[in-house]
């Protein structure tokens, strides 16, 4: 049989040859380094047989993310075995690799704490040193169910039952030493191929993510190719902890969470200054792109959500209320409201494209266990837009969104942007023909741009392009999205009049740049460490009078700068000037303006710029002009 290598060449192999056989046929060095094989879009164990005409790629420690995925998956199993040794009686949930690491869920007879980490890490080291082979076994559903029932492992029995309901007829199990788990794989050949492992944290997690199920203990860890890579990662984590937006949000008086509204952020005055700066940056872009801003109601009759498909596909994430014996829902998304706005008027083909923008405040129910600062909340504001256009206009409109996101992210210091195309999910509405047409239209719009593929990750009503940025710590964040939708125009009976006086359905494009203002702010805080550029800083300058008699002049300086639209405050506390300078630096204020007798007499202020130090005495007009120029957003 023949397989195809990444360079397009063909490799002749005997029938039944494995990934390891393919690596050996290429060369003994590759066979020694190989840990797995990619076959098309699937990564497999080296021991599995290949088929004729397979397109393959041998995975080695130099293969980047593919290697880390396989190695960390194997490390998760080793960690589970170690926990089983340290805490006898443990039962096992899921244990997948994730971004930057892996986790495993356990049902334990006693609480697990960080005090257990040294013993677990020592046991992991022993398993790795033993070079225990990973052995794959395939069982029928009945045999697998009986096997795990005999081992008194109810979570694995439940997994087998769920897979059988999905139509599976057999499952694979993996064993290393005495540990066995239900698993699709892939894994490295033996535990000795696992790099250095570091346990990180313990959290709670419901079985299958439902609060109706038992709460398990989730143990997070990571593994890297080398100790050097692990140390670099731990240094990045330390920086991430220092930049944690929850701590900085509190310390810088940006936002607050209260027990009266778990998951519902309260923005303080300084936080609102940053939020309004983000919104202004969005509006600045949209003004030049002929968007019209709208606002739609927060609560609408459930019949709307039945029409839109949210009732069927999303109601477990929605909040409801009853008004005059009618059931209403608080909106989790803005798109149905935009459809009603479009439908409220007749439209001609000459009107299209119509671009509606909205800062829509939406509510979605999230389990309390997954709430996380501004990153995972129950109420947030989307910088949403919905474009209604003809099919022949889709490519230009999507390309305009792609260009918009490039400009917008660069404005905030995110220069590295990657694109992901997400295709039809399992829980999808509309016909296959609608989906095929929508996916093809997005591929056509992407053209020669580089993009990754996220199979089955589209919205329930249409495929999408997601935008990911990389922060200063090398972390990737998904921000904006551009979604193509043939479904909602059909459900809402949207139409426009053509040149020959017939009616056609418009295509609907859903677009958000930040994703949500709240999450974008959280990412921005962590990316900058709360050290915002002058144009975005909540307080752009702080005036520090040397003594009580200089308060009046300090207020005059503040008034002069505020006349230029700058955000300025006076720190007239009785603390020493040195203490107030230090506090100003800790608050990350871009400019500290010190005024005493000399400055009051000369009509100046002694300026200290953050990161640049003493700027000397400056006349108020010159100072106001300088700060006003620096406070202009990039690209404005």
Final residue of a structural domain among 19, 41, 60: 60
Mean of the pLDDT values across residues 419-438? Answer: 84
Residues 215 and 101 in one domain: yes
Q: Residue 318 falls within a domain, yes or no? A: no
pTM (two decimals): 0.79
Mean per-residue pLDDT, 118-124: 96
**Cis link prior to 186 (omega < 30° from 0)?**
yes
Domain shared by 175 and 111, yes or no: yes
pLDDT confidence bin for 555, thresholds 50/70/90: very high
Lowest mean pLDDT among 474-483, 492-501, 578-587: 474-483
- The reply to whether 41 and 6 lie within a common domain is yes
What strands lie across the sheet with 36-39, from one edge to the other?
42-44, 36-39, 56-59
Whether residue 193 lies inside any domain: the answer is yes
pLDDT of residue 462: 82
Within 13 Å and on the Cβ side, how many CA atoms surround 45?
Answer: 21
pLDDT band at 115 (very low <50, low <70, confident <90, very high): very high
Are residues 84 and 181 both part of a single domain?
yes
Distances (CA, A) of 434 to 437, 441, 486: 5, 11, 6
320 in any annotated domain: no
Same domain, 40 and 153: no
Looking at mean pLDDT, say which of 39-48, 456-465, 597-606 comes out highest: 597-606
Asked whether residue 569 is assigned to any structural domain, the reply reads yes
Residues carrying an active site annotation: 335, 364, 382, 384, 386, 464, 510
367, 211 in Cβ contact below 8 A?
Answer: yes
Assess whether 366 and 490 both reside in one domain: yes
Euclidean distance between CA atoms 232 and 242, whole angstroms:
15
Structural domain contains residue 323: no
Instruction: Render pLDDT for 286-340 as a digit per residue (tens, 0 to 9).
Output: 988 999 999 999 999 999 999 998 998 888 899 999 989 999 999 999 999 999 9
- Supply the pLDDT for residue 430: 75
Residue 346's pLDDT is: 95
pLDDT of 347 above 90: yes
pLDDT of res. 99:
82
CATH code, 24: 3.10.20.30
Q: Cis peptide before 353, with omega less than 30 degrees from 0?
A: yes
CA atoms of 615 and 593, how far apart (whole Å): 10
Residues 45 and 75 in one domain: no
C-alpha dist (Å) from residue 312 to 209, 316, 427, 486: 19, 9, 10, 18
Last residue of a domain, one of 474, 494, 528: 528
Q: What is the CATH number of the domain that holds 579?
A: 3.40.50.800
> How many domains does one find in the chain?
4
- Residues 182, 264, single domain; the answer is no
- Looking at the structure, do residues 221 and 81 belong to the same domain, yes or no? yes
- End of a domain among 506, 528, 550? 528
Contact indicator for 305, 364 with CB cutoff of 8 Å: no
Mean pLDDT estimate for the chain: 92
Beta carbons of 163 and 139 less than 8 angstroms apart: no
Range of the structural domain that residue 15 is part of: 2-60
How much of the chain exceeds pLDDT 90, in percent?
73
Same-domain pairing of 23 and 163: no
Q: Is the pLDDT of residue 461 over 80?
A: no
Look at residue 230 and tell me whether its pLDDT is greater than 80. Answer: yes
């Amino acid at each position: 049989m023949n397989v195809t290598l990444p360079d397009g060449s063909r490799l002749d192999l005997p029938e039944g040859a494995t990934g390891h056989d393919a690596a050996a046929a290429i060369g003994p060095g590759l066979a020694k380094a190989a840990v797995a094989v990619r076959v098309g879009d699937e990564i497999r164990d080296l021991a599995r047989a290949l088929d004729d005409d397979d397109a393959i790629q041998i995975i080695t420690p130099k293969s980047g993310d593919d290697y880390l995925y396989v190695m960390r998956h194997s490390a998760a199993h080793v960690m589970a075995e170690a926990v089983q040794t340290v805490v006898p009686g443990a039962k096992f949930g899921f244990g997948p690799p994730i971004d930057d690491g892996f986790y495993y869920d356990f049902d334990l007879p006693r609480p697990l704490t960080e005090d257990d980490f040294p013993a677990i890490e020592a046991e992991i080291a022993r398993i790795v040193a033993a070079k225990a082979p990973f052995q794959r076994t395939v069982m029928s559903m009945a045999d697998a169910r009986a096997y795990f029932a005999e081992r008194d492992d109810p979570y694995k029995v439940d997994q087998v039952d769920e897979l059988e309901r999905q139509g599976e007829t057999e499952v694979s199990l993996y064993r290393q030493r005495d540990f066995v788990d239900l698993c699709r794989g892939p894994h490295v050949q033996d535990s000795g191929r696992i790099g250095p492992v570091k346990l990180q944290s313990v959290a709670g997690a419901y079985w299958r993510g439902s609060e109706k199920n038992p709460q398990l203990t989730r143990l997070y860890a990571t593994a890297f190719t080398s100790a050097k890579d692990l140390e670099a990662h731990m240094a990045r984590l330390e920086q991430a902890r220092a930049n944690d937006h929850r701590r900085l949000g509190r310390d810088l008086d940006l936002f607050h969470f209260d027990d009266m509204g778990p998951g519902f952020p309260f923005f303080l005055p300084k936080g609102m200054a940053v939020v309004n700066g983000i919104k202004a940056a969005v509006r600045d872009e949209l003004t030049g792109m002929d968007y019209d801003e709208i606002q739609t109601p927060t609560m609408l009759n459930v019949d709307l959500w039945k029409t839109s498909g949210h009732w069927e596909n999303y109601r477990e994430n929605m909040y409801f209320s009853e008004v005059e014996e009618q059931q209403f829902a608080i909106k989790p998304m803005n798109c149905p409201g935009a459809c009603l706005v479009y439908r409220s008027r007749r439209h001609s083909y000459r009107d299209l494209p119509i671009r509606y923008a909205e800062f829509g405040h939406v509510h979605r129910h999230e389990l309390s266990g997954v709430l996380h600062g501004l990153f995972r909340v129950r109420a947030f504001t989307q910088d949403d837009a919905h474009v209604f256009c003809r099919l022949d206009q889709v490519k230009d409109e999507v390309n305009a969104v792609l260009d918009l996101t490039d400009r917008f992210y660069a404005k905030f210091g995110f220069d590295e942007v990657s694109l992901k195309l997400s295709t039809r999910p399992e829980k999808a509405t509309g016909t296959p023909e609608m989906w095929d047409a929508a996916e093809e239209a997005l591929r056509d719009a992407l053209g020669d741009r580089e993009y990754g593929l996220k199979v089955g990750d589209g919205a329930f009503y249409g495929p999408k392009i997601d935008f990911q940025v990389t922060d200063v710590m090398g972390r990737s964040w998904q921000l904006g999205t551009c979604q193509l939708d043939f479904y909602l125009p059909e459900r809402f009976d949207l139409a426009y009049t053509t040149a020959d006086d017939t009616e056609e359905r418009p295509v609907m494009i859903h677009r958000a740049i930040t994703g949500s203002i709240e999450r974008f702010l959280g990412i921005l805080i962590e990316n900058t460490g709360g050290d915002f550029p002058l144009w975005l800083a909540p307080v752009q300058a702080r005036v520090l009078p040397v003594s009580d008699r200089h308060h009046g002049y300090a207020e005059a300086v503040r008034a002069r700068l505020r006349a230029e639209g700058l955000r300025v405050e006076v720190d007239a506390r009785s603390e020493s000037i040195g203490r107030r300078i230090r506090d100003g630096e800790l608050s990350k204020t871009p400019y500290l303006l010190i005024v005493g007798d000399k400055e009051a007499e000369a009509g100046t202020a002694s300026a200290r710029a953050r990161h640049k130090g003493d700027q000397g005495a400056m006349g108020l007009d010159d100072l106001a002009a300088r700060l006003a120029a620096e406070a202009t957003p990039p690209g404005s």
